[in-house]
Amino acid sequence: MAGKRDFVSMRDVRDDLVGLLELAGSIKNRTKAGEPYEPLRGRSLAMIFEKSSTRTRVSFEVGMTQLGGHALFLNPNDLQLGRGETIADTARVLSRYVDGIMYRAFKHENVRELARNASVPVINGLDDREHPCQTVSDLFTIQERKTPLDGLKLAYVGDGNNVCNSLLLGSATVGMDMTAACPAGYEPDPELLREARQIAKDRGATIEVAHDPHSAVRGADVIYTDVWVSMGQEREKEEREKIFRPYQVNTKLLDHAKPDAVVMHCLPAHRGLEITDEVMDGPRSIVFDQAENRLHAQKAILARFLAGV
């Protein structure tokens, strides 16, 4: 495919993120109105899952069906990948069969390797460095509630993980201020943080990292959290839960944000740890709207990258 585009990082949509959010809105409106929209009729998406998933798998699979296409769920243990076939060879073979590949991987470098060797678009369904599809959905969800995005403040509270990294780049790109409150030693990726700050500077926004969650949420329009123990970190569970305890999103923390601030979580949530039931089920929570919007955002990503819509 000449000039194929991959979505491996938020960097890949830096120039058309606003357009992608508009497309998500348009597709959502069509879906709600019951209007058929099938730009991917007859096309197939291979989905490789090294990590388990609820939202990513269901939203991509249903999204492909609603866009007129077909998705194949592939577990590495069911592929020759599980028996030592290289990522490069897998990419070359799948490219002969399908129109796009979504890869949910343990390592960012493996997603890059797949993209380098595939002749069809590769979409990053999550890796240890970024979660770009999640950020597109998150920004779309915020935009539905509060516009314009530029000038808003997002406070991320918790682990400076893949979700935080992509949010930094995404927030900077749309001109939204963001402060990440993380314990010392758990800050976001320094290279991506530098890049986000540079983008933010061009957009008139600010990107900060803090250690005090109360000061970070001061004046925030959006408070965002994620699990303290990501997949693959189970051995650190006890230690992490102790370190992150002061970073719980609870009603006391919300008191420091704007009165109309909304709360987000990319799910799955460990209730009673990073977020309390009272907040997650409370009137400020838009967590389940955010989860629903994975479907609409994923459809926009598929239409844009597989069909050039």
Please identify every residue annotated as catalytic. Answer: 104, 131, 134, 226, 266, 294
> Euclidean distance between the first and final Cα of the chain, in Å?
16
Instruction: Determine the Cα–Cα distance for residues 160 and 23; give it in Å rounded to an integer.
Output: 29
HSE, side-chain direction, 13 A CA sphere, residue 237:
6
Amino acid at 32: K
What are the CA-CA distances from residue 104 to residues 49, 110, 133, 214, 234 (Å)? 5, 10, 11, 34, 18
Q: Are strands 153-157 and 222-225 parallel, antiparallel or unpaired?
A: parallel
What percent of the chain is helix, strand and coil (3-state, nearest 5)?
Answer: 50, 15, 35
Of 146, 199, 142, nearest to 168 by C-alpha is 199
Query: Taking the C-alpha atoms of 76, 293, 112 and 163 in order, what is their torsion angle to the nearest 10 degrees?
Result: -100
CB atoms under 10 Å from CB of 176, counted, come to 27
